[in-house]
Amino acid sequence: MTDHNQPFDEHDDQAWADILSPSRRNMLLGGGVAALAGVGLAGNAFAQQQDGGIIRPDFWPDIKREPGKSPWGYETYKEPAKRPVSVRPGEQILPTQPRKYTDIKSYHAHVYFDEDSYHKAELLRKWTVERFPVELGHWNYEPVGPHVTPSFYFGFENDIAPVVIPWLQLNSLGLTILLHPNTEDPRADHLYYALWVNRAQPVNAYNMKKPAPGQPPVEQIFINTKPTVKVEA
Ligand code: ZN
């Protein structure tokens, strides 16, 4: 197509101007080649290529497209934007009161890694379990739940949060870590109440639901590590 190192091309320039002019565009949509011929354009800037009714100027690349129909139909541009259901759980307007911070029952730390950074994740995991009583999950080598990259997780109680959070800030080794609280609303916990160490990354939590009736209302933490090292202070 257009090579910007080349000098100005009057022919191309005029053809673009013709296409972009609203009256010309309407004419193209309405009348096609016959209308073009009527105003002397056919055979000039426009080649007589017809590809499913679309007329292309001769400087457009000759891309062959398979004929077919869009599964979305051809009226998608008419669809209005609507407000999605519940931007903030349980609230359709601004809250009248701040939430109680005591709604947070515990925290999760989700440590993300990839094929280049897994040794850092391994070291951080080792340092963590040596120092803190946590619920440590398995290695996830593929996206799982709302987490879109490999990860591992540990959960911890509120009482050690004032130590764990600054400790993770200084010992992340540069890894991305999602710190989310556990309240009665997992979706909000992941999307709206999160803290991030280093860069944030997408969290696929939009469709997360509250626990079903009969389930514990808030995510539970069951400690499965015994610390052996005093936290450096
Ligand atoms: Zn979590």
CA 33 to ligand 1 centroid distance, Å: 60
- Please, what are the domains in the chain? 10-63 (no CATH), 104-197 (3.30.70.1240)
Burial (CB count within 10 angstroms: exposed 0-12, middle 13-18, buried 19+), residue 181: buried
Token pair for 12? 């191309």
Q: How far apart are CA 8 and CA 174, in angstroms?
A: 49
Q: How confident is the model at residue 2 (pLDDT cuts 50, 70, 90)?
A: very low
Burial (CB count within 10 angstroms: exposed 0-12, middle 13-18, buried 19+), residue 219: buried
* Predicted confidence (pLDDT) per residue in 134-190, tens digit: 999 999 999 999 999 999 999 999 999 999 999 999 999 999 999 999 999 999 999
pLDDT at 38: 43
CA 16 to ligand 1 centroid distance, Å: 53
Residue 191: is its pLDDT beyond 70? Answer: yes
Contact 161, 134 (CB under 8 A): no
Mean of per-residue pLDDT scores for the chain: 84
Residue 229: is its pLDDT beyond 80? Answer: yes
Of 12-16, 52-56, 142-146, 209-213, where does mean pLDDT reach its minimum? 52-56
The pTM of the whole model exceeds 0.75: no
Between residues 159 and 98, the one the model is more confident about: 159
CA 110 to ligand 1 centroid distance, Å: 6
Q: How far apart are CA 216 and CA 44, in angstroms?
A: 73
CA 164 to ligand 1 centroid distance, Å: 16
CA 199 to ligand 1 centroid distance, Å: 17
Contact 150, 214 (CB under 8 A): no
Q: Measured at the alpha carbon of residue 65, what is the angle toward residues 59 and 66, in degrees to the nearest 5? A: 165
Q: What are phi and psi of 212, to 5 degrees?
A: -65, 155
Q: How confident is the model at residue 203 (pLDDT cuts 50, 70, 90)?
A: very high
pLDDT at 153: 97
